[in-house]
Structure formats: structure tokens, C-alpha cells
């Protein structure tokens, strides 16, 4: 049994250089997943709470559709936990759209105090990290961590409007349409099945901005892989552990290109994760029947993969301990047009079934 507290001062919550250990691990008492049609047709499709055939989700614009998905994800996670809005002290959330409008318009009517966060597609990691801190620190009894993304809204925001019909290179990823939410609480879920384990967050590693000089917004996997590498390596170092500490290491949306880069970068440091590593961007679509080129991306990619596939495997005992590492590419239309690089960031969340 590995003791991750070995090198941490008694009672301290600061682990190594960038990590936090939770002395009273907060509980993930529910997760929800709203997904688009394409996601519903993918390998994880059956696990989502709801799949929308209509990519407008009954709304007039893509942005409103995304807001609606977020609102529905929040309502669903409350329903699954058997809670009301007023039981939630704070909501931490964000999305890919400029000025987080999917979030602002999505969650306003829930009437919950909100902290808007932005880490591009790593946002679910940042939301869960900050949410776990609020709960373990005694600043909140329950919080919602939530993110969303929408394929059409993201293409318009970052690349070309869909009507333009731009050809996508093989390194390009496909933005996931959907929204995922979890409730993090200072108490166990009160509607668990018999023998179902508790799901807790035992620690986190906050990521730095990592810039290897990639300038191609159609190759975000290559831009984000170094950030995932730095955060995962730091997590191993801060807790003095090896990849084998985890049953699974799960990155957000590196895709086929970024996945291989990450594996190679870690191998150079003598960390081999190949036998216990998946990427949400690869899991969410079928390589054979769904042509998305490099895989899925977007804030919702890691969020709905976590709240369906990952939580299920933890609850069913397939995995006991995972490192969830949503990854983000910190570009904007403006920074891209001005010829800037695409820096990456990744935040890691240590999740355990006990």
C-alpha cells in the first residue's frame, strides 16, 4: 500500500510543488451528462443521461443551445442527487465561448452563486479542483462543477463558420456537443445502491501554462500534450508515486496525435502509462464508424466522459483509483489571427472509489 502522505508535513494540505491533498476527501455524490446526436451514436452513447437529436436543443442559436444543455445538466445532477437548487452553495463552471456566455445564460435562472472559470477544455478539471477545495475547506457543503461545449458554436468561435465548408486536417479534433456536471459534497450520496462504493476526490494538481510553440489551431493535441505531461509528472513527483498508483490515467482531449506525444514524453522520464491510459477524446467517438479525425475535444468531452464512463467504472469496481486530467488549449480567434502560439494547460483530479 502506497502512502501518499509520506513526504507531506503533518496536517498540511500542500503536497509537493503544485498539488493538494484532501485530509477529508469530499464526495462526488452525483454526475450528469447531456450529449449531442453524434456523441449519442458513439461508443459511450448508452451511458449518457440524455441524447439530443436536435443540435439546436429547441433553441434559436447554437449558443442558446449550449446554455440549454448546461441548464439541463445542472437540473439532472440535482435530480439524481435528490437535491434542490437551494441545497447547492456555489456553482463553479465555464465554457469555451468568449466571456463564458454559455455558462452565464445557462445557469443564471438556477439562482446559485457562481464562480466563472476558464481553462479551455481543461475547465472541468479546474471546476472540480476548486469545488473540492471549497467543500473540504468548509466553505461550502455542496457545490456543482459544470462545463459545456457545442460543436457548431466552437467552430464559429475558433475557426470557420460551418457554412464556409472548410476542410479539416487529420490532426483536427471534433468539439463535443454536451454538458457534464457533478455535485461535490461534504457527505455521502444518500441514494446509493447497495454495495456501491463512495466516490471521493483525494487530491489535485494545479497546472501551469505550458507553451512548446505550436501555432496550429487544427492540431491542439500537440499543443496540449506537453501540458498534460507536466501536470501528470508533477502529480507523480508531488505524491512520490508511480503510474501504477492509478488503475487508470484519463486525459481530456489529446486525441490520437496528442496521446502518443504524451506517452513518449512520460517514457523519457521513465514513466510508462501505456497499459493504464485512455483519452476521453478517443473514447467518445468510434474510430471505425465516426470520422472525427484526431478525436473529440471541448469542455464537454472530458466532462461527459467522466460523468458517464469513468464514474460507472468506479462505481462498478472496475477501477479503484483514477487520475482525471482534463487538458486545455489556450487559444482564441484573436490570438490565432495575430500569429500567437497555442499554449496548453492541464489540471489533475485524483478520484477514488472506496
Q: Which residues bind a copy of itself (CB under 8 A)?
A: 12-14, 18, 20, 61, 63-64, 89-90, 94, 96-101, 104-105, 107-108, 111-120, 126, 129-130, 133-134, 136-141, 157, 206-209, 211, 330-335, 338, 340, 343, 345
Sign of CA dihedral 105, 207, 155, 36: negative
- In terms of CB distance, is 16 or 197 closer to a copy of itself? 16
- In terms of CB distance, is 116 or 197 closer to a copy of itself? 116
Q: Which residues pair with 337 in a beta bridge?
A: none
- Least gap, CB of 21 to a copy of itself (angstroms): 10
Q: Is beta strand 142-149 parallel, antiparallel or unpaired with respect to 174-175?
A: unpaired
- In terms of CB distance, is 78 or 330 closer to a copy of itself? 330
Using a 10 angstrom Cβ sphere, with 0-12 exposed, 13-18 middle and 19 or more buried, the burial of residue 24 is: exposed
- Least gap, CB of 100 to a copy of itself (angstroms): 5
Contact between 273 and 347 (Cβ < 8 Å): no
What is the distance between the alpha carbons of residues 215 and 187, in angstroms, rounded to a whole number? 45
- Least gap, CB of 349 to a copy of itself (angstroms): 13
Q: Can you tell me which residue has the cell 482525471?
A: 324
* Residues counted in the chain: 354
- Least gap, CB of 233 to a copy of itself (angstroms): 13
What is the distance between the alpha carbons of residues 55 and 77, in angstroms, rounded to a whole number? 21
What is the distance between the alpha carbons of residues 98 and 120, in angstroms, rounded to a whole number? 10
What is the distance between the alpha carbons of residues 109 and 233, in angstroms, rounded to a whole number? 40
- In terms of CB distance, is 110 or 280 closer to a copy of itself? 110
What is the distance between the alpha carbons of residues 281 and 228, in angstroms, rounded to a whole number? 14
- In terms of CB distance, is 91 or 282 closer to a copy of itself? 91
- Least gap, CB of 117 to a copy of itself (angstroms): 5
What is the distance between the alpha carbons of residues 135 and 28, in angstroms, rounded to a whole number? 11
- In terms of CB distance, is 212 or 245 closer to a copy of itself? 212
- In terms of CB distance, is 163 or 288 closer to a copy of itself? 163
Residue 161: closest CA among 312, 333, 315, 335: 333
- In terms of CB distance, is 126 or 253 closer to a copy of itself? 126
- Least gap, CB of 2 to a copy of itself (angstroms): 22
- Least gap, CB of 211 to a copy of itself (angstroms): 6
Q: Is beta strand 327-329 parallel, antiparallel or unpaired with respect to 344-346?
A: antiparallel
- In terms of CB distance, is 105 or 272 closer to a copy of itself? 105
Q: Which residues pair with 28 in a beta bridge?
A: 184
- Least gap, CB of 97 to a copy of itself (angstroms): 7
What is the distance between the alpha carbons of residues 213 and 201, in angstroms, rounded to a whole number? 33
- Least gap, CB of 27 to a copy of itself (angstroms): 17
Q: What angle do CA 7, 8, 11 make, to 5 degrees?
A: 150
Q: Which residues pair with 182 in a beta bridge?
A: 31, 145
Amino acid at each position: 500500500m502506497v502512502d501518499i502522505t509520506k513526504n507531506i508535513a503533518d496536517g498540511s494540505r500542500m503536497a509537493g510543488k503544485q498539488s493538494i491533498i484532501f485530509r477529508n476527501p469530499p464526495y462526488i455524490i452525483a454526475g450528469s451528462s447531456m450529449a449531442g446526436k453524434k456523441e449519442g451514436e458513439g461508443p459511450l452513447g448508452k451511458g449518457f443521461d440524455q441524447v439530443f437529436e436536435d443540435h439546436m436543443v429547441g433553441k434559436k442559436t447554437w449558443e442558446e443551445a449550449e446554455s440549454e444543455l448546461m441548464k439541463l445538466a445542472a437540473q439532472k445532477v440535482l435530480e439524481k442527487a435528490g437535491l434542490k437548487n437551494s441545497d447547492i452553495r456555489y456553482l463553479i463552471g465555464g465554457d469555451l465561448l468568449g466571456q463564458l456566455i454559455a455558462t452565464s445564460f445557462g445557469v443564471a435562472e438556477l439562482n446559485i452563486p457562481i464562480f466563472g472559470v476558464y481553462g479551455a477544455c481543461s475547465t472541468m478539471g479546474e471546476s472540480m479542483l476548486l469545488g473540492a477545495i471549497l467543500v473540504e475547506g468548509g466553505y461550502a457543503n455542496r457545490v456543482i462543477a459544470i462545463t459545456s461545449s457545442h460543436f457548431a458554436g466552437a467552430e464559429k468561435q475558433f475557426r470557420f463558420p460551418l457554412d464556409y465548408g472548410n476542410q479539416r486536417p487529420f490532426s483536427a479534433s471534433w468539439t463535443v456537443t454536451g454538458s457534464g456536471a457533478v455535485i461535490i459534497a461534504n457527505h455521502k450520496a444518500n441514494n446509493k445502491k447497495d454495495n456501491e462504493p463512495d466516490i471521493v476526490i483525494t487530491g489535485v494538481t494545479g497546472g501551469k501554462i505550458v507553451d512548446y510553440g505550436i501555432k496550429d489551431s487544427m492540431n491542439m493535441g500537440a499543443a496540449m500534450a506537453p501540458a498534460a505531461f507536466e501536470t501528470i509528472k508533477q502529480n507523480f513527483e508531488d505524491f512520490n508515486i508511480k503510474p501504477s498508483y492509478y488503475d487508470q490515467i484519463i486525459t481530456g482531449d489529446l486525441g490520437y496525435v496528442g496521446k502518443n506525444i504524451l506517452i513518449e514524453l512520460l517514457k523519457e522520464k521513465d514513466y510508462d502509462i501505456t497499459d493504464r491510459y485512455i483519452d476521453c477524446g478517443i473514447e467518445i467517438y468510434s474510430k471505425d464508424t465516426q470520422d472525427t479525425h484526431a478525436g473529440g475535444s471541448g469542455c464537454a468531452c472530458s466532462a461527459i466522459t467522466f460523468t458517464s464512463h469513468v464514474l460507472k467504472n468506479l462505481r462498478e469496481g472496475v477501477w479503484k483509483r483514477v487520475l482525471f486530467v482534463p487538458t486545455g488549449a489556450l487559444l482564441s480567434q484573436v490570438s490565432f489571427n495575430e500569429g500567437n502560439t497555442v499554449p496548453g494547460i492541464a489540471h489533475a483530479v485524483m478520484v477514488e472509489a472506496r
